[in-house]
A and B are shown apart, each in its own frame.
Chain A
């Protein structure tokens, strides 16, 4: 063992992604070009959504050298009218991996803004060209950056930074990357087309390398309500997440420097006049309720140290040893470490332990999670076998695992709050479908919110029949969080539900011209693979899809029978028009007459009857 010295190197996140770019969808020039388009367009749409701006996204792909055969370098540019990114954040946002504004629990197309950086990274690897970022947050000044990514150090390298005056706000990102448009083209066109269907409030333009222009104007004039950021649900949590949340729930011991002391004096109203130790404590007691936590901590420390402000300036707090009730500090004057005992009965002791050990279990639950009230928290503590007042900071590893397990199992929590979700809404969805497919019939439904494993989700669906829809249906358009899913549809839960449906029961026969649109919104879509193209068949999601589809199918069936009747009536009218003249012709000869009978009024009468029926 000892003879082999293993060498552990820490690698930067950029290096990690560089080595594992397949995972993020950059496996080959075809897929990479498509993924890059998706990442930038989705970032633009997300940015606009968050600020309530009607997105106007312009995307273009141009070959660097059109004569070369694919795969070859392309310049991909995505420009939006969103809020832009502040100048100082641009290098970090586009020049490092894992820098993003999307941490937090709410529905968004992308999770951490990772994909865009991955695309930049991929472009840099394949063409060694910098990324060009133009950003204006105020619609007056635009910052223009040329950036490279230092992969080993995970740091941006600014090649050029200029500013100029503009009239519109927004962000434009342009990268050079190796791609294969000959193969990726149809998918990219599908992507743009399908994206504009699920974002009918957006205008999307695409200039393709062959000079074709695809323009999808906005169809609806209202934005769906923006999702709110919410706290996580207890069922959707693991040990690691609890650990991260605990760090937030514990408070740092304030650094007692001049600034801090000045603040304490000011808050106690002692900025000008100096008081002795007991005087300070009296003053603090009177004002306790108005004091902030850091000030209270300083006062508490002073109470055990029995020092005034002057003395306080000459020491450094080293440790607060709660179990042994000792306070360690370094005395600069004597240059040695000292300690004092703390009285556990004192209210100052409680203040300090609270700071060091964090919140109690019940406070932690009610403050850090959604939809848990004090009484539920107490019931849960009992269920999990913890004292309600147990401090989070005092939990051992085993206890944390137990807590995490119990959070998953406890059934007394309310179901997750769907306010973090942003479904499109029935009216815009219907408008979108009508505009895109110009069907004879269209119906949509938004199912009530439901949840799987602590993640809320909402299923929206639309069905359309006839009109300009091509036969051979059902044509299924799948969406998750407003992203079209184009690949791997075979193994998707939506397809499973659709294929289970016996359409003949709903009067849909033969080669029907019909379209299905499904949209699953969730804070976390349970994708089957990292490629994010197919949704796993979670029982809860499957059920909502099934119910939604049943509702729509019944509506379709009702329409189909009406349509059948109308067609029948028309057919009948045609029949009379075809056959009555023949009957008239034949009976005239058989009856030995020369002039045909007047059957015209019979035809007219029949048409009137039909009109009444329909």
Chain B
């Protein structure tokens, strides 16, 4: 059964790689053909401008509309970015062929070896997103990962698929610091787990506390530190834990508008990634810290800043914040104009959050 499943997965992974390689080859051949016949090659890139980002209620995430921008090498102002994109396709092709991984930063520095200039990393990051849009695939598929800053801990057995480690297994509760969510983990087979829930938490400090307090054992959970806004590889992993292992996902953040949005991005993606699917966990639940919790648990607070308040108003016009707790909590934040950190529970003892708050919220999550 397991071996069948593993074979299945392996097959799927190989297929995925082949799809990428085929797509890249198609584009490369088209550019080659254009050049050879005296035509200026061009790419059609789905437009990521605000006007082309629409909310799909059925998918429960932002998606791109139908408009696309043409990037032509004929246009001298686009020639540079066209070349950058072509180079990235070339680089991604090599990575995928040779099963090597790279990071956003690594891409930026690698460009210099090929006489490709990027002003800064954000320019190269943008080109990577362009290629994602062209291929309609997340960059992880062509082996480009973010710098690891989020981590995972809990009873989960995985089996690596990356070259040199194929078949090697690992239990993610062996190391109390947790495991960095990098390329090898994101592409690993999820073999089995005793956990019944995934707890995503915004902060590294609390993540360590949770491990120390053995939240994984007490609540049969896998703990994931998102390190602020969850990186895409982490979101991919969350999705796989939910879809493949059937685990519910709950999100625990600071009690402010940014925390609320961190949870929302895990649930329904970001406008930045509107060109991608399969990055969302629509069933993920935000369990706190809510604005209403601040009152309820008498948490010490600090006043919201101007930009906090502005952010509240911005989100009020977001279609995803028009109902349920999302709308309710946002309104309360705006009303009280105060916010609380996860650490605020320390006022009542260092373990207060795991002893008192978390059990309540886990109970509550079942009914959400």
Please list the residues of chain A having a beta carbon within 8 angstroms of any beta carbon in chain B: 571-572, 575-576, 579-580, 582-584, 586-593, 597-599, 601-602, 605
Which of the candidate stretches B5-13, B57-65, B79-87, B270-278 sits at the interface with the other chain? B79-87
Beta-carbon nearest neighbor of A576 in chain B: B79
Asked if B35 CB lies within 8 Å of chain A CBs, one says yes
Q: Which residues of B contact A571 (CB under 8 A)?
A: 76
Q: Which residues of A contact B35 (CB under 8 A)?
A: 580, 583-584, 587, 597-599, 602
Is B38 in contact with A602, judged by CB distance below 8 angstroms? yes
Asked if B29 CB lies within 8 Å of chain A CBs, one says yes
Beta-carbon nearest neighbor of B94 in chain A: A589
Q: Which residues of B contact A590 (CB under 8 A)?
A: 24-25, 27-29, 31, 86, 89-90, 93
Asked if B103 CB lies within 8 Å of chain A CBs, one says no
Asked if B116 CB lies within 8 Å of chain A CBs, one says yes
Among B36, B80, B82, B116, chain A packs the most CB atoms within 10 A around the CB of B36
Is B31 in contact with A591, judged by CB distance below 8 angstroms? yes
Is A591 in contact with B32, judged by CB distance below 8 angstroms? yes
Beta-carbon nearest neighbor of B29 in chain A: A591
Is A580 in contact with B93, judged by CB distance below 8 angstroms? no
Asked if B40 CB lies within 8 Å of chain A CBs, one says yes
Interface of A is mostly: helix
Is A575 in contact with B80, judged by CB distance below 8 angstroms? yes
Is B28 in contact with A572, judged by CB distance below 8 angstroms? no
30 residue pairs A–B, Cβ–Cβ below 8 Å: A571-B76, A575-B79, A579-B73, A579-B79, A579-B83, A580-B35, A582-B116, A583-B31, A583-B41, A583-B86, A586-B83, A586-B87, A587-B29, A587-B31, A587-B32, A587-B41, A588-B28, A589-B28, A590-B25, A590-B28, A590-B31, A590-B90, A591-B25, A592-B25, A597-B32, A597-B35, A601-B38, A602-B35, A602-B39, A605-B38
Beta-carbon nearest neighbor of B89 in chain A: A590
Is B73 in contact with A591, judged by CB distance below 8 angstroms? no
Q: Which residues of B contact A589 (CB under 8 A)?
A: 28, 90, 93-94
- A582 with B76: in contact, given A588-B32, A591-B29 (CB under 8 Å)? no
Please list the residues of chain B having a beta carbon within 8 angstroms of any beta carbon in chain A: 24-25, 27-29, 31-33, 35-36, 38-41, 73, 76, 79-80, 82-83, 86-87, 89-90, 93-94, 114-116
Is B28 in contact with A591, judged by CB distance below 8 angstroms? yes
Shortest CB distance B196–A (Å): 45
Is A586 in contact with B90, judged by CB distance below 8 angstroms? yes
Query: Once bound together, how far apart are the Cα atoms of A165 and B156, in whole Å?
Result: 120
Shortest CB distance A592–B (Å): 6
Beta-carbon nearest neighbor of A584 in chain B: B35
Is A583 in contact with B83, judged by CB distance below 8 angstroms? yes
Q: Which residues of A contact B40 (CB under 8 A)?
A: 602
Beta-carbon nearest neighbor of B31 in chain A: A587
Q: Which residues of B contact A601 (CB under 8 A)?
A: 38
Q: Which residues of B contact A582 (CB under 8 A)?
A: 83, 86-87, 114-116
- A579 with B80: in contact, given A589-B90, A591-B25 (CB under 8 Å)? yes
Shortest CB distance B33–A (Å): 8
Among A588, A591, A599, chain B packs the most CB atoms within 10 A around the CB of A591
Q: Which residues of B contact A588 (CB under 8 A)?
A: 28, 32
Is B86 in contact with A586, judged by CB distance below 8 angstroms? yes
Query: Once bound together, how far apart are the Cα atoms of A598 and B38, in whole Å?
Result: 8
User: Closest 8 A-B residue pairs measured CB to CB?
Assistant: A590-B28, A591-B28, A586-B90, A597-B36, A597-B35, A587-B31, A591-B29, A591-B32
Shortest CB distance B129–A (Å): 19
Is A572 in contact with B41, judged by CB distance below 8 angstroms? no
Is A592 in contact with B28, judged by CB distance below 8 angstroms? yes
Q: Which residues of A contact B39 (CB under 8 A)?
A: 602
Interface of B is mostly: helix
Shortest CB distance A614–B (Å): 15
Query: Once bound together, how far apart are the Cα atoms of A576 and B76, in whole Å?
Result: 8
Query: Once bound together, how far apart are the Cα atoms of A602 and B29, in whole Å?
Result: 17
Query: Once bound together, how far apart are the Cα atoms of A593 and B33, in whole Å?
Result: 11
Is A587 in contact with B86, judged by CB distance below 8 angstroms? yes
Q: Which residues of B contact A584 (CB under 8 A)?
A: 32, 35
Query: Once bound together, how far apart are the Cα atoms of A455 and B114, in whole Å?
Result: 71
Q: Which residues of A contact B38 (CB under 8 A)?
A: 601-602, 605
Beta-carbon nearest neighbor of A598 in chain B: B36
Q: Which residues of A contact B29 (CB under 8 A)?
A: 587, 590-592
Query: Once bound together, how far apart are the Cα atoms of A129 and B41, in whole Å?
Result: 86
Query: Once bound together, how far apart are the Cα atoms of A454 and B33, in whole Å?
Result: 79
Q: Which residues of B contact A597 (CB under 8 A)?
A: 32-33, 35-36
Q: Which residues of A contact B114 (CB under 8 A)?
A: 582, 586
Shortest CB distance A503–B (Å): 26
Q: Which residues of A contact B93 (CB under 8 A)?
A: 589-590
Q: Which residues of B contact A593 (CB under 8 A)?
A: 32
Query: Once bound together, how far apart are the Cα atoms of A586 and B31, in whole Å?
Result: 10
Shortest CB distance A173–B (Å): 65
Q: Which residues of B contact A579 (CB under 8 A)?
A: 73, 79-80, 82-83
Q: Which residues of A contact B82 (CB under 8 A)?
A: 579, 583
Shortest CB distance A120–B (Å): 68
Query: Once bound together, how far apart are the Cα atoms of A591 and B38, in whole Å?
Result: 17
Given pairs A579-B73, A587-B90, A590-B28, 17 additional interface contacts (CB within 8 A): A572-B76, A575-B79, A579-B83, A580-B35, A580-B73, A582-B86, A582-B115, A583-B82, A583-B86, A586-B89, A587-B41, A591-B28, A592-B28, A597-B32, A597-B35, A602-B35, A605-B38
Query: Once bound together, how far apart are the Cα atoms of A214 and B83, in whole Å?
Result: 55
Query: Once bound together, how far apart are the Cα atoms of A597 and B86, in whole Å?
Result: 14
Shortest CB distance B111–A (Å): 11
Beta-carbon nearest neighbor of A588 in chain B: B32
Query: Once bound together, how far apart are the Cα atoms of A586 and B116, in whole Å?
Result: 11
Query: Once bound together, how far apart are the Cα atoms of A591 and B21, in whole Å?
Result: 10
Query: Once bound together, how far apart are the Cα atoms of A591 and B79, in whole Å?
Result: 20
Among A588, A590, A599, chain B packs the most CB atoms within 10 A around the CB of A590
Q: Which residues of A contact B80 (CB under 8 A)?
A: 575, 579
Query: Once bound together, how far apart are the Cα atoms of A228 and B38, in whole Å?
Result: 71
Query: Once bound together, how far apart are the Cα atoms of A59 and B193, in whole Å?
Result: 102
Shortest CB distance B128–A (Å): 15
Query: Once bound together, how far apart are the Cα atoms of A591 and B22, in whole Å?
Result: 9
Q: Which residues of A contact B73 (CB under 8 A)?
A: 579-580, 583
